[in-house]
Amino acid sequence: MKALYFLLLFTYSLSAQDFEQVRDSLKTKYKHINNFKNGYASVTNKVNKAGIIDSLGNEALPLLYDWAKFSNGVFVVQKKKHYGLYSVKNKEIVPVEYDWLLPRSYNLFLAQRKKKHGIINSSGSVILPLIYNSTTIYNDTFIIARLASGNYNIFDLSGKQLQPFDYKIFALYKDVAFCSDGKKCYLINLNNLESPKLLDIDSFAEYGFFDYEQHGYHVFKKDNKFGVMSYKGEILIPPQYDELLHIHSITEEFVAKKDGKYGILNVNNIILQPFNFKEYQIRKEYIILTDVTGKTSNHNISFRREDLP
């Protein structure tokens, strides 16, 4: 086993050395040569046109593009702000007409064309048609597609829809989605879509962005009061505040309002600053608090610990 390991290590080192020799020999021919990856390197010429060479220095993709890269076993190219795919034999797979093509695992690409999103693979097959407002691949397991209504559908990586699913997703954490069907709220495990957990709350807070694996909790509303719930359904902060603002994605602190005054607490409902302030201003690393007399003080933000277990 050791002999095999050292043979592979020597072969790899030799290949890397050969690649460097190829790069050195072509420095006068190209303006820029990127590092080799899987036997290919992106290059640009003196007029900033891009192509791809192989490990022997041969042009596998002619220098006709504004940008080019080897990814997912194919060449991704850009020309006049549009993207396409070519095979390693320089055969067109999909035309250069996409607004973007972002490589993901399993030879998949997030695709956008005419402001609509979908999924294609490195063979050019359409996995998910480009009819959605957004798409993402979650944990290399699920495709999550947002509809024009703001709700989402869930698919496997082959594009098969997993159980009828038409919820709005507010947050995702450890395969658990904080969801609403517009009337009721749920926690839904994406591995068991048939058993959504109904929650005794009125709504989830709108963060203005899709909370993607950032927290294991989310602000909710019940009887016109705000609290915080974990992805396990535990109430971390009871719904007893008139306002509750998560300060930043990398902190576990909240600005809360109670009885007309502001204070600061953490996700464990521990009060860090008493409810004595009439206004606040959030800065990058601290919060300026102003009390009823106009006196100001600073609260230094404590950045978050490890993710919830």
Does residue 136 contact residue 117 with C-beta atoms inside 8 Å? no
In this prediction, residue 235 carries a pLDDT of 97
Whether the pLDDT of residue 51 is over 80: the answer is: yes
Element (H, E) at 1: none
In this prediction, residue 74 carries a pLDDT of 97
Does residue 53 contact residue 43 with C-beta atoms inside 8 Å? yes
Residue 233 tokens read as 């359904």
- Identify the top-confidence range among 24-33, 74-83, 165-174: 74-83
11 or 177, which is more confident: 177
Specify the 3-state DSSP secondary structure of 291.
strand
CB proximity list for 247: less than 8 A, separation 6 or greater: 253, 254, 255, 282, 287, 301
Whether the pLDDT of residue 309 is over 60: the answer is: no
Whether the pLDDT of residue 211 is over 90: the answer is: no
DSSP classification of residue 35: P
Distance in angstroms (rounded) separating the CA atoms of residues 162 and 284? 41
Lowest mean pLDDT among 66-70, 229-233, 247-251: 247-251
3-state secondary structure 202-260: CEECCCCCCEECCCCEEEEEECCEEEEEECCCCEEEEEEECEEEECCCCECEEEEEECC
The model's pTM is 0.77
Q: Which long-range contacts (CB under 8 A, 24 or more apart) does 277-284 make?
A: 280/255, 282/247, 282/248, 282/255
Distance in angstroms (rounded) separating the CA atoms of residues 79 and 92? 14
212 or 159, which is more confident: 159
For the chain, give the mean pLDDT. Answer: 89
45 or 306, which is more confident: 45
DSSP classification of residue 28: T
CA angle, 202 then 142 then 231, to 5°: 35
Domains of the chain: 1-98 (2.40.10.360)
Whether the pLDDT of residue 1 is over 90: the answer is: no
- Identify the top-confidence range among 152-166, 208-222, 237-251, 287-301: 287-301
pLDDT tens digits, one per residue of 240-274 = 999 999 988 788 999 999 999 999 999 999 999 99
Q: Span 203-228, mean pLDDT?
A: 85
Does residue 113 contact residue 107 with C-beta atoms inside 8 Å? no
Distance in angstroms (rounded) separating the CA atoms of residues 244 and 237? 10
Residue 157 tokens read as 């990586």
Residue type, 191: N
**Backbone φ, ψ for residue 16 (5° rounding):** -60, -40
What confidence category does residue 42 fall into, taking pLDDT thresholds of 50, 70 and 90? Answer: very high
Q: Span 224-230, mean pLDDT?
A: 96
